Amino acid sequence: MNTEYTNEQIIELVTGILETADENLVLPIVQLGHPLLRQRAIPYTGQLEQPLLEELLEAMRQTMYDAPGVGLAAPQVGIPLQIAVLEDLYPIPESIASEREREPLEYFEIFNPTYTAASERTAEFYEGCLSFEGFQGVVTRPADITATYNDRDGEAHTQSFSGWQARIVQHETDHLSGTVYIDKAKTRSLINETELWRHENMDVATAKKVLNF
């Protein structure tokens, strides 16, 4: 489902949502069950004047930091536009970084993104979502992708991502088509984060034995 909006409606919606931000520009994050999480967002075609766009992007960035998370899509703050912000610079143990093929991901923004698998390699790991708080599930995804997207100035980019970076890009791009990670997760792997931490961040192989999936 792709609901049509006029530019005026988008401007009014974005302006209203930005008014809900706190003093640190942090916006409320909508949770699973909100209809925008199940709709294809509309392409960004310059509906917002530059100052309003910049205010939205900064609010999304601060909301991502506050959560904290490594990505945030516009529908997660109630805005039906194909925009997402991404960054992963959190310190993690070297052993986990190696297992996940995780390299630091500098902050960037994607508008109207798409991705395709760039190899036959796949990887499965636990994922969580700021719009489905408290749970994680195992998702198998392409380990190498080619992504296309525009930046805030409308310039087109084609970029390759691998490992954990590829997973983040796929997760956020999926949000913009109305897909949440649990749609792709192994349902028996779903675990409350309290249990995940109790098992000391158990890896997927251990989880398969414990949860029988």
Sequence-distant (6+) residues with CB within 8 A of 141 are: 122, 123, 124, 166, 167, 170, 184
Domain-located, residue 50: yes
In a domain, 20, yes or no: yes
- Count of CB atoms within 10 A of residue 4's CB? 7
Q: Of 58, 172, 193, 200, which residue is the catalytic one?
A: 172
Q: pTM value?
A: 0.94
Residue 34, marked binder: no
* CATH label of the domain that carries residue 54: 3.90.45.10
User: Quick one: which of 122, 153, 148, 139 has its CA closest to 54?
Assistant: 153
What pLDDT does 193 receive?
A: 86
Is 87 part of the annotated catalytic residue set?
no
1 assigned to some structural domain = no
At residue 2, the pLDDT reads 52
pLDDT tens digits for the chain (213 residues)? 457 899 999 999 999 999 999 999 999 999 999 999 999 999 999 999 999 999 999 999 999 999 999 999 999 999 999 999 999 999 999 988 999 999 999 999 999 999 999 999 999 999 999 999 999 999 999 999 999 999 999 999 999 999 999 999 999 999 999 999 999 999 999 999 888 777 766 788 888 888 888
Check if the beta carbon of residue 84 is closer than 8 Å to that of residue 151: no
Q: What total number of domains does the chain contain?
A: 1
Residue 27 carries which DSSP code?
A: P
By C-alpha distance, which of 67, 42, 26, 76 is closest to 180? Answer: 76
Check the annotation: does 157 bind a ligand.
Answer: no
The domain in which residue 103 lies consists of 7-211
**Predicted pLDDT of residue 45:** 97
Q: What are phi and psi of 19, to 5 degrees?
A: -70, -15
For residue 163, tell me if it sits in a domain. Answer: yes
Residue range 43-76, pLDDT digits in tens:
999 999 999 999 999 999 999 999 999 999 999 9
Specify the pLDDT at position 202. 72
Q: Give the model's pLDDT for residue 210.
A: 82
Report residue 184: phi and psi, to 5°.
Answer: -110, -5
Q: Classify residue 80: in a domain, yes or no.
A: yes
Cβ count within 10 A of residue 118: 16
